[in-house]
Amino acid sequence: MIVAGCDIGSLTAKAVIMENGNILADAVMRAKTRPSESAVEVMQMALEKAKLTMDDIKYVVGTGYGREQIPFVDQVESEISCHAKGAWQIMPSVRMIIDIGGQDAKATRLDDNGNVARYIYNDKCASGTGRFLEVMAEALEVPLEKLGELAATSTEKLSISNQCVIFAETEVVSLVNEGKEIADILNALHHSLAKRVSSLARSIDVRTDVVMTGGVAKNVGVFNALSEALGLPLKALSGVDPQLMGALGAAYYAAEKVGEMKDAGIELRGHNT
Amino acid sequence: MSIVAGCDVGSLTSKAVIMKNRKIIGSHIIKSKPRPGESANTVLEGALLSAGVAKEEIQYCIGTGYGREKIEFVDEVVSEIRCHGKGARWMLPTAEIVIDIGGQDCKTMKLDKDGNVSRFSANDKCASGTGRFLEVMARVLNVDIEELGRLSAKARDPITLASTCTVWAQADVIKYLNSGVPIEDIGAGINSAMASRVAILVNTIKPEGDIFMTGGVAKNIGVVETLEKLVGRRIKKTRRADPQMAGAIGAALLSLEKINGSEKPESMNTDFTSQPSVQERSS
């Protein structure tokens, strides 16, 4: 039985196609202005990779910021639930998930059965979200995906005193003018972001194992800084792109639903493109 | 005959005032340079020129503002809060509440009988509700701050900005612009958002009496009028001097007090209740 999960975020759109618990194909792309367009396009990308058509997909679960606008979904689930579901399936020892998205950050605590026990998020202030790094990457003229490796070459410890993105950007510009190294500034920015996100996580009690999901998790600088800020080593989710966690969780929801329906004797037809 | 000076080096603009017997005889304002020390030298020179006095004639000079520690020629430095309080009381003798919106902060103060600050609240942590918010938005709309202020009066159907955060609000404003919403309606929404943020700060010091606004944002009529509605009292205007000069004027007045001694002798056991100095900071 083939199912799919589709995660339409503010910055990127993700899709995962799954058959009996195995990932057949996945796709990630920069989000378009209209969430519905992003959804159709990213799904098409994944289908092409899997050499399938929409008709082969029995059930689709949508998630993310733009989930209500996805034209082809059978069911929608919150990002919190999907990230939890995805992480739990990959690593049953996980008790806390920290997801830094393009315009929010969330910390979710799971109970011993993988259910969401508590969560907290910030989407009010751009500081402590992926946007913080995006703005800084632009100011420093460094590609977003290079931030982690560049920061790893840092030799001087700097600190950023402003939390506000707008003020911190000015501070970064003056550090550049003072002749400070880009790598050192980036390292300081990663620690600043980590400090902000760790206080969010602490407010709902940190339990191990802690994993990081979302696109920012690929930035090794933030990953390490967050471990340091929390005072415990974050676990890496092996084998899966952390950015796909929402879509993956959505696909697991779809697989579960298909299983339930099968048990109930409901026949599922394919999707018409 | 005492000639004194006050120099206020802010993050965006630098101001200098020359005073002779409590009267302004010269003043100058410039856009701040990257180095506060340089800004101070340039702006003082301008003020001396307009007053027609030489630097040597200045008997005392007090520095204030964000860059005050970097001013070379001052005899003393004093906090912006104190200077703005003094300056505001000189400009509007009935002022009891002072709102000063700076380039990267916002302060509200309550003044006692002598123009000293008895309570204040400030935000310098978040760009929202500071001059920077308006600066960012004016740049997006491609208008200057004063023009932005006048947009409110022309608006028919003002937008409401859902986010307080300057970064998110900026993204919203760009979206509104791209979807063809008239610039007046967007501008009015921006001014209201700014005013409501400042109103929160004003209300924490429980406003009474006349309100006076200092700093450059006082020139944004849209923000001023919305703020009046939200706080429920009038913001008084004065023609005595440019409200942006209040900090420098206060610094000059304090210089004068320094060389003359306090004008009113410090009386013992005054009848008014001296309020404890409550310092509040909220972000």
Q: Is there a contact between A166 and B164 if contact means CB atoms under 8 Å apart?
A: no
Domain locations in chain B?
1-92+242-266, 96-237
Query: Do B1-92+242-266 and B96-237 come out as alike in CATH topology?
Result: yes
d(CA B184, CA B164): 20
Same domain for A82 and A6: yes
What is the token pair recorded at A55? 């008709």
Helix runs in chain A, H state only: 35-50, 79-90, 130-140, 147-151, 165-177, 182-202, 220-230, 245-263
A112 and A126 assigned to the same domain: yes
- Residue from the list B34, B164, B167 with its beta carbon closest to the beta carbon of A166: B167
* List of chain A residues whose C-beta atoms are within 8 Å of the C-beta of residue B34: 177
Are A29 and A133 within one domain? no
Contacts of A123 (CB under 8 A, 6+ apart): A103, A104, A129
Q: What totals of helices (H) and strands (E) does chain A contain, helices first?
A: 8, 9
Provide CB contacts within 8 A for B261, sequence distance 6+: none
ipTM given for this complex:
0.84
Contacts of A165 in chain B (CB under 8 A): 127, 165-167
Cβ <8 Å between B125 and A177:
no
Residues 6+ apart with CB under 8 A from B85: B98, B109, B111, B115, B116, B117, B250
Q: In this structure, are A87 and A97 located in the same domain?
A: no
* B168–chain A Cβ distance below 8 A for any pair: yes
User: Looking at the structure, do residues A207 and A125 belong to the same domain, yes or no?
Assistant: yes
Cβ separation of A164 and B164 shorter than 8 Å? Answer: no
Our CA-based measurement puts residue A130 at a distance from the nearest CA of chain B, in whole angstroms, of: 12
Distance from CA of A137 to the nearest CA of B (A): 15
**Half-sphere exposure for A21 (CA within 13 Å, toward CB):** 3
Nearest to B164 among A124, A131, A165 (CB): A124
- A121 with A212, same domain: the answer is yes
Q: Is the pLDDT of residue A256 over 60?
A: yes
Residue owning tokens 């309020």: B275
Q: Based on the domain organization, do A69 and A116 belong to the same domain?
A: no
Contact at CB, A125 and B132, closer than 8 angstroms: no
**In degrees, to the nearest 5, what angle opens at C-alpha A197 toward C-alphas A191 and A199?**
105
Q: Give the structural domain span for A229.
A: 93-236
Q: Do A45 and A100 belong to one domain?
A: no
Q: Are A103 and B168 an interchain contact pair (Cβ–Cβ within 8 Å)?
A: yes
CATH of the domain at A29: 3.30.420.40
Task: State whether A101 and A180 are in the same domain.
Answer: yes
**CATH architecture, domain defined by B1-92+242-266:** 2-Layer Sandwich (3.30)
Same domain, A190 and A161: yes
Cα distance between residue A7 and residue A38, in whole Å: 10
**How wide is the angle at C-alpha A129 spanned by C-alphas A126 and A130, nearest 5°?**
115
Candidate from B34, B164, B167 with C-beta closest to A165: B167
Structural domains of chain A, count: 2
The Cα A54–Cα A198 span in angstroms is 41
Give the distance from residue B181's alpha carbon to the nearest chain A alpha carbon, in angstroms: 17
Closest listed residue to residue A132, CA positions, set A151, A107, A104: A104
Q: Which of A161, A167, A173 to mutate to test the interface with B (most CBs of B within 10 A)?
A: A167
> A166 to chain B nearest CA, in Å?
6
Q: pLDDT digit of tens for each residue in chain B (283 aa)?
A: 689 999 999 888 999 999 998 899 999 999 999 889 999 999 999 999 999 999 999 999 999 998 999 999 999 999 999 999 999 999 999 999 999 988 889 999 999 988 889 999 999 999 999 999 999 999 999 998 889 999 999 999 999 999 999 999 999 999 999 999 999 999 999 999 999 999 999 999 988 889 999 877 888 899 999 999 999 999 998 888 888 899 999 999 999 999 987 554 333 333 333 333 334 444 3
**A180 shares its domain with A121:** yes
Q: What is the CATH number of domain B96-237?
A: 3.30.420.40
Cβ contact (<8 Å) for B125 and A124?
no
Token code pair at residue B53:
């006095």
Distance from CA of A268 to the nearest CA of B (A): 40
